[in-house]
């Protein structure tokens, strides 16, 4: 099995990919778009993408890419995220002038970063990639926020550990692919739909599920490009698409939703198998 993920070795997406399959061949990609392309065109069978963090919220670009592409969600995993401030061995916190990391990681460590005076905070494409930038450039006055594994891979030492704002910092990743990830029966479904701009349309849409006892675990709205102030609604349902209540709710929604698409029906994350 080959799995594509965004970032450098040591990224949290790499850790998520290992939870999907511990013996898979992993393909690091520079961007989320490249992950989709790697699965769409090869050589990867699956792609792993962050979709939501318990502190920083949704990763909006990946919601948009799910709509732009036609690769279904076939699974999900959750990864506890522990951030460290990493620098070259021998560097001191007082000498640090810049901190690199991914925007989500910077947001998750906002309280700690506010304690650093006179330090420039610079957003980069990846947490582990930031560690690589420090190592490659031999930047003695620069630190990166990344995982402990990234520090090990790129030879950096922690100046401060567990610097995220909250201890229960978790990122949820989705798995995309053309084939089911496992033979386990699905118990979760992700859909996207649009609604007419009229009173009560969202209430009517949500009622289709409430009246049939289908639980919504996530609701996200995203703008429709080229149509100002119109939105797509992304919803996670705690039910398989083929379950009768879910089928009927989707049938009801299809009667008045101009756009309705199932992005995937899959096994929800229940924790790493023992």
> Residue 205 contacts by C-beta under 8 Å, 6 or more apart in sequence?
193, 195, 233, 253, 256, 257
Distance of CA 235 to the CA centre of its chain: 15
Dist CA 228 CA 226 (whole Å): 6
CA distances from 65 to 4, 12, 234, 262 (A): 15, 20, 12, 14
Which active-site residues does the annotation give?
171, 173
Of 8, 65, 19, nearest in space to 39 by CA:
65
51 preceded by a cis bond (ω within 30 of 0) = no
Locus of tokens 């450098």? 8
SS3 content of the chain, % helix, strand, coil (to 5): 30, 30, 40
DSSP string, 157-190: EEEEE--SS-S--EEEEEEEESS-S-SSPP-EEE
CA distances from 81 to 12, 46, 159, 171, 252 (A): 7, 22, 17, 7, 39
- Pinpoint the alpha helices (H) of 211-273: 244-254
């Amino acid at each position: 099995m080959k799995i594509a993920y965004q970032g450098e070795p040591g990224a949290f997406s790499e850790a998520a990919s290992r939870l999907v399959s511990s013996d898979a061949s992993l393909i690091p990609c520079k961007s989320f778009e490249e992950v989709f392309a790697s699965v769409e065109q090869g050589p990867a069978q699956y792609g792993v993408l962050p979709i939501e963090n318990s502190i920083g919220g949704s990763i909006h670009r990946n919601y948009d890419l799910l709509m732009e592409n036609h690769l279904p969600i076939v699974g999900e995993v959750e990864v506890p995220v522990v951030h460290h401030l990493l620098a070259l061995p021998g560097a001191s916190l007082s000498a640090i002038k810049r901190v690199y990391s991914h925007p989500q990681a910077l947001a998750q460590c906002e309280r700690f970063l506010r304690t650093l005076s006179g330090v420039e905070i610079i957003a980069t494409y990846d947490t582990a990639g930031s560690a690589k930038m420090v190592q490659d450039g031999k930047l003695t006055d620069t630190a990166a926020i990344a995982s402990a594994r990234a520090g090990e891979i790129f030879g950096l030492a922690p100046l401060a550990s567990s610097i995220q704002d909250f201890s229960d910092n978790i990122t949820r990743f989705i798995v995309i692919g053309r084939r089911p990830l496992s033979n386990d029966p699905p118990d979760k479904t992700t859909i996207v739909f649009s609604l007419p701009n009229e009173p009560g349309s969202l209430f009517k849409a949500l009622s289709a599920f409430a009246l049939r006892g289908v639980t919504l675990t996530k609701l996200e709205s995203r703008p429709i490009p080229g149509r100002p102030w119109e939105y797509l609604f992304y919803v996670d349902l705690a039910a398989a698409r083929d379950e009768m209540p879910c089928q009927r709710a989707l049938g009801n929604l299809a009667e008045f939703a101009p756009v309705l698409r199932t992005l995937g029906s899959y096994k929800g994350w229940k924790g790493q198998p023992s």
